[in-house]
Structure 1
Amino acid sequence: MSNSDAAAILTTHDPALAIRAVRTLLGIADTTGAEVDFEAVIRSPEVLARVREVLPALKWSAAAGVEHGSSDAGDDPARCLPVRVFDWCHPLDLAEPFIASLGPDAAAVRFDLEAWPEVPEAGLERVSQKYAYLTLSVNSRDLYQDEPSDDHTVHVHVRYAALAEDTARIEWLADQVGGRFTGRVETAPL
């Protein structure tokens, strides 16, 4: 397991704008074999029901701890609310239905990409899968749902502790979606 740095490039109250930015970035990236991972905190039975329509085999544990319930134990998540979702390795086409199901609950939707492309005119080389990630924080400003918010943040991932070398890529990607890099970065274990 390695780490990356996740740089915030767009924060908006408009979920449609955040999703358009993600679509644009996915259009730039090499998505051959790409997957999407979901992490969330689900607090209400209504949101849980909608999420389970998208992910019927939902992987979760009680926010109070696995001893209070989990999907591995075969427990009913509706009896264990709030629950934390850690459900990974899904096809990209589940991302938008998952986001739509969340209502006000916080989540991180991480897109595991094949690569960020070479951009010769910007002096950028191809970046392989190890550092080709994109995360949309929904109803949260951070990757871990620790800063609940009524807005949404798009993060692009770069090499851990190599921010100075990767700032050009961050800024170029931000420009593609009408965002800007503010310097806000989080370490993301991958």
Structure 2
Amino acid sequence: MSNSAAAAVLTTADLPEAVRAVRILLSRADIGRAEVDFEAVIRSPDVLTQVLHVLPDLVWWASAGEEHGSSEAGDNPANSLPIRVLDWGRPLDRAEPFIAALGPDPAAVRWDLDAWPAVPEAGLEAISQKYAYLTLTVNSRDLYQKEPSQDHTVHVHAADRNGDQIARVHWLADQVGGRFTGRVESAPL
């Protein structure tokens, strides 16, 4: 397993603004074979119902531990709330419905991109799929839902082969009217 550096480029209390920023960044990426991954803590029966409508075969386990319920055991998630979701490799069209279903519950939605393409006018080389990700944290300041908040943060993962990501991060932040705050989190991939 490797790690990626997730740089915060936009934090806002306005979820539609955060989603708009994600759409812009996706339009700047190669996404032909991209996938989306979901991590969340679902506390509410209403949110669970909405999330199950989006992802009927949701991968989850009870926050109290798998012995208290899991999708692998075929348990009913409604009987195990709160639950943790770790559901990977979904089609891109599931991301926005999942985000809309979350209500106040915290989550991280990560797009596994094919690449960040070269931007010759900015002096940026292409970045391969190994280092090209985009994450939106919803109702959480961090990637792991340990710092619940009422705002949402767009993070870009954009290290090149030399581990340098600063120029790309600044360029991507500019694309969405954000700015690189210097906040970077390590993200296992």
TM range (shorter): over 0.9
What percent identity do the matched residue pairs reach? Answer: 72
SS of equivalent to 2:173: helix
Structure 1 distance, partners of 2:150, 2:108, is: 14
Query: Which residue number corresponds to residue 3 of structure 2?
Result: 3
Corresponding letter in the other structure for 2:86: F
Quote the RMSD (CA, aligned, Å): 1.3
Corresponding letter in the other structure for 2:165: D
Structure 2 distance, partners of 1:101, 1:41, is: 12
Runs of 4+ in 1 over 3 A off after TM superposition: none
Structure 2 distance, partners of 1:50, 1:37, is: 17
Structure 2 distance, partners of 1:83, 1:16, is: 25
SS of equivalent to 2:158: strand
TM-score w.r.t. the length of structure 2 is 0.97
1:89-147 per-position Cα deviation (integer Å, ceiling 9, x unaligned): 11101100000000000000000000001011111000000010000000001100011
Query: Which residue number corresponds to residue 14 of structure 2?
Result: 14
Displacement, 1:40?
0.3
SS of equivalent to 1:159: coil
Query: Which residue number corresponds to residue 54 of structure 2?
Result: 54
Contact 1:3 1:159 in 2 (8 A): no
Structure 2 distance, partners of 1:55, 1:26, is: 22
Contact 2:99 2:138 in 1 (8 A): yes
Query: Which residue number corresponds to residue 140 of structure 1?
Result: 140
Corresponding letter in the other structure for 2:140: S
TM-score w.r.t. the length of structure 1 is 0.97
Structure 2 distance, partners of 1:8, 1:170, is: 9
Structure 1 segments unaligned to the other structure (5+ residues): none
1:162-181 per-position Cα deviation (integer Å, ceiling 9, x unaligned): 66x21000000000000000
